[in-house]
Amino acid sequence: MKKKLIAFFKKNPGRFFKSKEIAKRLDILEEHEYKSLKSMLYNLFEEEFLIKEGKKFRLNQLPENNKITGVLEVNQAGFGFVTLKAKDAGDIFISSRNMGAAFNGDIVEVALFAKQKGKNLEGQVIRVVKRKKKEVIGTLEKHHSFYYIKPDDPSLHRDIYVDPVNLKGAVIGDKVAVGKIDWDTSMLNPEGEISEILGKAGSYDTEIISLAKEFNLPYRFSEKVLKEAAAVPLEIDSQELKGRLDFRNDIVFTIDPEDAKDFDDALSINTNENGNLVIGIHIADVSHYVSVDSGLDVEAVKRGNSVYLVGKVIPMLPEQLSNDICSLVPGKDRLTYSVIAELTPRGKLVSHEIKKSIINSSRRFTYEEVQSIIEAGEGEYSEKIMELNRLAQTLRKKRFREGSIDFLTPEVKFKLDSQGKPSAVIRKDIKESNMLVEEFMLLANMVVARHISLPVHSRKIPPFVYRVHDLPDSEKVNEFAKFVKSLGYSFNPSASSKSNQFQLLMLSVKGTEEEAVISELAIRSMAKAVYSVTNIGHYGLGFKHYTHFTSPIRRYSDLVVHRLLYNYIEGNGKPVIPLGKLDEICDHISETERNAMEAERKSVKRKQVEFLSSQVGEEFHGIISGVTHFGMFIKLTDNLAEGLIKMRDLEDDFYVYDDKKYSLVGKRTKNQYRLGDKVNVRLIRADLEKSELDFIITGD
């Protein structure tokens, strides 16, 4: 027990835990074990290995030299936090004056200040261990005789000076990449050299390239990789069909967004003699065309995933593969890897088969077309679609009963003109057609992960890539519960199944103005889903076994899963990738996924700001989505754009930030602005360079 606890707290050095939470994480179920755990916690506290606050324990972890290393995250307000590498570790507050010569995202060494009661740990950056970015993207400007780069990223809080001899032909107003950044002291600005001219600031192509450069997204394929893709044969060798299941005479179809070009999943449904439903989930067999350690493979693992910016996709694989050879286009023979699942009409999984296959898609449907068929009950292949939809609804209800959470995260899509400028912003509606596809993809991913965990001839579970989602942090859940209760919603953080509590809450806020804010804060209270070789289950889905199998054209994780799975089922049964390398791949693709999500969010935000830039002075309805000591963030109800009301623009009183009540409180009037409050605002500024919106209050 002592060894278990020491290992647990060393793995989670910055967090407090109650004994019950520790027991749950260590899978301690027996009463006598739990008593032993509690006794040992107090022993470790007396030995000063742990520190104790109330009923919570934390590692007594301050290093002897009072120095610690972590990643600096800079807030737009100028201050920042250093997050430690260890999972769930605490943050170190860094004021703007104590950041030294560090940028947002840098790995830094921090000297810790003496801990003050009731305050977070605070420190000062004393050394930059590693820069996150070798290049910074920005616009070239000039003041008197000085040239400088104004960074696109507002968290990069310093302009970068450029000597005229290092302009490389760039002129004022150009969007550029600046490298060889030299910055030794915070007393002076950093200096650098222009490494690439991206184009004229403001043009659509330039903005896409600059965004890709900013997030280190490779947006061009090398000639070697393109040649390798071009050499892939279009025709399927007849020898390749041996041993594959043949679905070319079955009705198989794809369902995708209207603007999709890469179709990596298709569905089929049949009823067998006993009345059970046989679902075919057919996934593009990318692993047949992309061999291990080939140029295509090396490029794919580097990218990790495709990135979907507004109006532009940066694909993981060249279009020769992603939009043609591997894409399940209608009327063409395509190699696939299929999960064939037999289910009862009530959604119980009876049996499954996972096998390489070949299909010829009968029809390419859009979500809108399928939705029309569902609503009208008629149309091409309507009987198949209606059957799939009925079963999907059954599976969905069953999944929610068993602990899955339906996070309602409203999204927007843009209509762009020929110049790439947004002419309209439309909220996406998630309809039955979307949920139909989602349900069968979840089923396939779960079946594959569960198959790997089945004991076959007493073998050990082989190395594999899982999609995992850890339990939420209890402190964050308690804070979240206080917030939603302040809005009048019911949420019990102490319930035996918090996932059911989350699901009940999500259902109760569906369609309300608070939906976007509550959903976003609920997700923030959760751990992040990641890829891992250790299966701890997926809390958000309520699955004990889960992986990613259904999108190998756009996710490297799925490509690896295909390779491992095939080798375990039909190959020699040995891992094709060593466990240590698999672990590295999981860390890498988890990071590329986070990076892609940040780039996609920024792309959306830029277009929202660009769309609203012509509407300065107009009034909007919104909801308070964030409250800080420098103001409050407003999310507009119609287009989900988010902007700031600065504290100085609240002119009717002097407001003070109350972090316990998530509110700003007027000193004289006692007027309150709380997280989740509905407000009417006027747009007073739209900054395209910084992608920022500023509002003022116009009334309640």
What per-residue confidence (pLDDT) applies to 175? Answer: 92
Q: Give residue 85's pLDDT band: very low, low, confident or very high (50, 70, 90).
A: low
d(C-alpha 501, C-alpha 160), whole Å: 49
State the DSSP string of 559-607. HHHHHHHHHHHTS-SS-SS-HHHHHHHHHHHHHHHHHHHHHHHHHHHHH
Q: Cα separation of 596 and 574, whole Å?
A: 32
CATH 1.10.10 domain span(s) along the chain: 2-59
**Winning range, highest mean pLDDT, from 73-87, 116-130, 190-204:** 190-204
CA angle 109-110-116, nearest 5°? 165
Using DSSP, state whether 444 is helix, strand or coil. Answer: helix
As annotated, the residues of the chain forming the CATH 2.40.50.700 domain(s) are 136-201
Q: In what order do the strands lie in the sheet with 655-658?
A: 655-658, 663-666, 672-674
* 28-42, 50-64, 206-220: range with highest mean pLDDT: 206-220
| Confidence label for 64 from pLDDT (cuts 50, 70 and 90) | low
Res 63: pLDDT: 56
Give the pLDDT score at 457: 43
SS3 content of the chain, % helix, strand, coil (to 5): 30, 30, 40
User: Rounded to whole angstroms, how far apart are CA atoms 84 and 71?
Assistant: 7
Query: How many other C-beta atoms are found inside a 10 Å radius of the C-beta of residue 215?
Result: 21
* pLDDT one-digit tens code per residue, 233-282: 989 999 889 989 999 999 999 999 998 889 999 999 999 999 999 999 99
Predicted confidence band of residue 20 (pLDDT cuts 50, 70, 90): confident
CATH architecture type of domain 136-201: Beta Barrel (2.40)
Give ranges for CATH 2.40.50.140 in the chain. Answer: 67-130, 616-699
Q: Which of 404, 449, 411 is nearest to 557 (CA)?
A: 449
Place of tokens 């120095």: 67
Please tell me the distance from the alpha carbon of residue 434 to that of residue 574, in angstroms, as a whole number.
37
CATH class given for the domain over 616-699: mainly beta
CATH of span 2-59: 1.10.10
Task: Give CATH superfamily name and number for 67-130.
Answer: Nucleic acid-binding proteins (2.40.50.140)
